Chain A
């Protein structure tokens, strides 16, 4: 039976440069579609992907990357900004590991790029007026 799941992979800093995703394709016959990714040398990395393949192979593939130290979580939530509450302070900018926040140089408004967000949740507690929210 073929399965397909959306998952979030968290790569600890020391293993981000290893070709784990490629091995999933090569050794476990899985196919993937990267939805979002933020992987930089020597930093914690994230990738959100849709992973599909034979159920048995899929389970083995997940076992393989988990054993290698990659944390795998189902993508069951998304993080949205409550625009009414956001005060555009900027406290989230240096907190977000996937650089989803950015200051517009002209307006000094803090832009939130949901496409870069990997729903790690770090900004939720870090945002002083609590404008970042989980949506399940």
Chain B
């Protein structure tokens, strides 16, 4: 609509002023009169019977207002899940199933009173054998955790087509096992909740650090036996999410229950150590991968058997993460025969759930590693093996053997651009020279794709894949927008304002975007699965379209012309064929509220609420290439170069796209080299603080050279695909491939991630 000035521009974020002066309101920043605090008594064992709980001393502790155990909360239902699992009650009764499992809650008048009280609760445990190794667990060993889940298997996924012929006729067959270690998301803001029950109104408000308040409201209503209209959920400023803030948590339910029971607002803010046990973790898969290929390097078949570690319970996405893996096991390659079978295994660990990439990084790591192994086997360049197998441009929309329709792609052009920027051929020469001198220099490539924009309603576990927007002209001609998505760092106050400024021809500064509060936004589904722009954005477009249509009627009235003869351009309505005569959209907005002589014919007001249901998923892609060197004396990896050329379709905010890619790469490198949740065989969490769990610092991460190609999607009218998870999906295999390339002379085919110095030193020194 008119000349696009904001869309595609590198604009500074409008979120930032409040954040850089310390004026934002995260959940823990809020204090209410009469506010109480919760502290939890959590299991110190991975698996144990609770023989007794003595709460007498805690109850008598100064400032303690209540102590509650599982039996007190039988009036709330177990937590929901995408596929039914074991009953996950707000507080465990009789048995604990993971370190951090909730045994009791203590409510105090201050944070200190609550913590002091919790320390006085005496729990008598009887330790039981812990189920840790997923393959042993799937044989029912050492014990079966739940009577109704034979051999600890919660569900079995079986996807794809018949691969037997491909393997029977294969000239080359390669097999490899891969481990995708458990990770902790570690947003810098841990979870935090504040609940208030208004007795007079019988209404509940929950402020919580969450990615999708409307979905949470639906789940909370079901758990609490409350109708949704009496519940308000607010995600205020949220300090990062990365997936684990999608699901509903026990602490949210308990806070609501206590607020209602005691008639006081109640708050809890997770400590970092709690976060590492109580917040869902990511990944946790291991897979046996087999590919069939011709001697020329054409992959003809792919077969994977996997075990996915659910942890002790299913939360919302837990049991469905393997589906996201299975759907894209072939990655960017036209492999005709593909099969994926995955056992969902229940263990004595914290439940897993979505973490940046959620199932897709696992798939891409495997196929990208196999491409490198095939290149070694056939003595080919890794980029040439990839090129040989790419889905060709003319094959789009591409119907994959796993049942997806890939929207659009141009993989070869993208890879060639990355190679050119990287200086691939020269870097290979440099590598050869360095290796000749005994240095361990490696170059790694990954050509990835992923699934984004969740995404048609049939494809998401909630059945709610659409999103919404309300766009309203205020009487003074400024615009208030409410979105159903819930950004928490992505910057959609900026992105959506850019879109609206262009669509309505108004100044960017005249727009306010509201989000994250079920009381003042249309029902929506939040920000996850790289869907904020790809699904929330088109809803904004639709709402602007409705506004323009109504505006034409009003402008027609004002200029005594038929609405059909009105055209809209750059913020002005004019009559076709009558140059010079026009009214601004601001004048139209004012008229919509003050046009007393018009309201007999045209309803007052100028606002629209629209919903967008995408017709398909979207499939961003890209090429990451890195060069690394391993210090033979210490095993440490240093980066020589990192190039990422991503294609997320049309870019609305290029600056923000780059930021998303930077952060995504950082987390992917974290998985490749540093991060790991570790449990011992008794189920004890070894990596329980940030002293033991390595979140990479600025010194561990490289400078990233970014560029992009632009292949728009036809799935939504913006042509945008989504970029939140892309960097994470592309970077892990890129770095692992580089490290393994550096170690090629050792003949070692695979090292389990994270590729820490000790492991690499051993590989180099044969120890």
Indicate whether A and B interact: no
